[in-house]
Chain A
Amino acid sequence: MQELAKIYGDTLLLDKKFNYCPGCGHGVVTRLVAEAIEELGIRQRTVSVVGIGCGGFSHHYMDIDAIEAMHGRSPAVAIGYKTASPDKIVYTYQGDGDCSAIGLAELLHGANRGLPVTCFMINNNLFGMTGGQMSPATLENQVTATTPKGRDVHVHGYPLRVPEMMADMVGAKYVAREAVCDAKSIRKAAKSVRNALQCQIQGLGFSFVEFIVPCPTGLKLSVPDAYKWSREKMVEYFKPQVFKNEVGQNNEN
C-alpha cells in the first residue's frame, strides 16, 4: 500500500475496502474527486458533506474530514459550514435522489446563493441503496422497484434535468454534466471535477457537476450491459456538456 501511496498520494485511502457494488460508477467518481483534491493540494482543508445513499460511503476512501448530513440537506449544511469557515473547501457528494428529489430546494437555492461551495451529484437514475426505486432521473417507461410497469410520466412526471436549471443562475459559476461510462468520458469528467473545485478555491461562486454513472445492481444488468445502457439511454436524455465555465475566464484575466 505504501508503494501505491507514492503514486496516488495521501488523499485516497487505498487499504480501505470498497463498500460499492462491483462495477458501480461511484468508485470512478470517488477516485476522480480524490485525485483532484490531491492534485490541488487541498486535502487538509477539505471537508466533504455527504448525502444519504450510496454516495455517503465516498468519504471513507479519503483521508479528509466529513459530515454525514440528513437526506437531501447537504447543500444547506455546506453553506452553514462555509459561512463560518470560508477558508475551507467544502463539497457535497450526493446521489440523484438526495440531490434532486428530497434536496432540490436546498441545491437550487445553494446554487443561486452563489457562495463558493461545490456540489457533486452522482446520477445513477434510481435509489440504489434502498434497492432500486424510481428517482427523479429515472427514464420514461423504465422499470424500477416502484415502477413495475415502467415510469408513467403522466403519474410520476418526467426525468428531471438538474444542471439545466442552474445554467441561468448568476451565482453558479461552473455547471457541467459528465458521464463516467467509458475512458473518454471519464477523462472529461476528471477535468470538470478539477474545474469545479478550482472555482471554489478561487472564490468565484457555486460550482456543480452531475455525473451519469451506471448502477448494475439497481438496473439488474451485468456490468458491461449497465455501462452500455447508461452510455446509450442515459446519455441520450442527459446530455453531457459544460453549461457554464467562468473558471477559465478568470484564469485568463
Chain B
Amino acid sequence: MKSETLFLKNTQTFAEAMVRCGVRYHFAYPITPATEVMKHTAVILPEYGGRMVQMESELAVANALAGCACTGTLGATSTSGPGMALMQESISFMAAGELPCIMLDAMRVGPGDGDIVGAQSNYFQATRGGGHGDYRVIVLAPASGQEIVDLMPDAVKLAYTYRTPVLFVIDGVTCTMTESAIFPEAHDYAAGFDTSSWAYTGTADHEKRFLLTGSYTHSQGEEMNERLRAKFERIKEKEQRWESIQTEDAEVVLVGFGIHGRMGQDLVANMRAQGKKVGLIRPITLWPFPDKAFEQLPESLKSVLVVEMNHGQMLDDVRLAVNGRVPVHFLGKTGGDMPLCTLADMTAQINTLL
C-alpha cells in the first residue's frame, strides 16, 4: 500500500493504521463505539492475507489474542469499557506471559452499562491495570487521526521490544470524528522482530518450552515479578512521551490528554494572543506517565489545571508529578449531549486562575 491521504472516521483510521503496520489478525466483539474498527478490518484484512475474527465475548477475544501472540504473530483487538473490563484477566495474563499485541479502548461513559457517548473514564482501568497483580501495560493516547497513524509504528515496536500488550486509549468523541490523515507507505513492523527465541511454535527447531504465568515453587512467582519489575522500570525510564507547549514562562499550565490536550493547543494560542501566559502539557503515554514533563516547572507557575472527560483520574498522576509545588485544579465532565468540557469552559476556568 502506497502513501496516501485518507479522510476517515478515526476508528477506521485506527484499523487502517494497525493493518498497514503489520497487524494481521484482529479479534473483536461488537461494542459501540469500537465496532467501526472491526467493520473496517473485516473488509481490509483479507487483502493483506489476514482475517478479522469475531468472537463470542471479550473474554474469548482477549484469550484468542493471547493464543495468536503465542505464535509470535502480531494480533490486535478493539473494544470499549465493558469489553475492557472482561479482558482484564487476559491482559494480566499477557503482561505476565510477555505477549505482544495491540489493543484499543474506544472509551465511553461508565460505570456499568454507562452510555455509548465518548468519555475518558477508563484512565484508571488502563494505567493501573484492571487485572490482578503487579503489572503495567504501555498506554498510548493519540489526540487526532494523524497521531494514531504516527504512533502506530512505535506501538508495534514497543510491543515487540518489550514483549508487552500496547493499549491505545481514545475517547469516543475523537473515535467518531472524521478527519484526514496522511498514511505513509505500508510497512510490516512486526516482521522486523525475531520471535524464534520465545514463540511457542513447536519443538521442531527448539527444546521444549512452555508459557507459564503461574508458579510451581514460591520462588518462581517472585522471580517472575522481579523480571517484570525490571522491565517496567526500563520502560518508565525510556519511553515517556508528551507534548509541551509554551510552558517555559507559563503562569498556568493546562494538562489534558487526547481531545482535551488537542483543544489545549487552540486554548494556548488564543490566550497567548491576549498576552496571557498559559502553557500546555499533553501526555501521549499515560503509562509510563510523563513525570519528566513536570520536572522543570518554571518559577512563574502559579497553578496547574487538569481537564478530563471524567471526574478526575489522570489528576492523581499529575498531583504525584507536581508533588505539591503548586496547586493542581481540576475541570471534568462525563456524559451528556456535550460529553466534554468545551473550549469556552476551559478558557473560563483558566481565567479564574490567572
Contact = CB atoms under 8 A, between A and B. Distances in A.
The size class of the interface chain A forms with chain B is 20 to 34
Interface in A195-211: none
A85 interface: yes
B213 interface: yes
Contacts of B63: 69-70, 73, 76-77, 80, 106
Contacts of B213: 68
Interface stretch (B53-61, B105-113, B257-265, B278-286): B53-61
A43 interface: yes
Contacts of B65: 80
A139 B248 CA distance: 73
A181 interface: no
Given A69-B63, A81-B67, A83-B25, A63 B75 contact: no
A67 B55 CA distance: 20
Contacts of A78: 67
A76 B213 CA distance: 17
Interface stretch (B200-208, B319-327, B337-345): B200-208
B211 interface: yes
A79 B64 contact: yes
B287 interface: no
A234 B4 CA distance: 65
B123 to A, nearest CB: 25
A66 B208 CA distance: 8
A154 B209 CA distance: 45
Nearest to A74: B63
Contacts of A59: 210
Q: What band does the interface of chain B fall in when counting residues whose beta carbon is under 8 Å from A?
A: 35 or more
Interface string A35-61: 000000001111101001000100100
Contacts of A81: 67-68, 70-71
B93 interface: yes
Given A45-B202, A81-B67, A85-B201, A70 B89 contact: yes
Interface in B194-230: 200-204, 208-214
Contacts of B70: 47, 67, 77, 80-81
Given A66-B210, A68-B211, A69-B66, A76 B200 contact: no
Given A65-B201, A67-B211, 10 more contacts: A45-B202, A47-B202, A66-B200, A79-B64, A80-B68, A80-B70, A84-B24, A84-B68, A85-B71, A106-B60
14 contacts: A52-B214, A64-B203, A65-B209, A66-B208, A66-B210, A67-B210, A69-B66, A76-B63, A77-B63, A79-B55, A80-B66, A85-B71, A105-B57, A109-B55
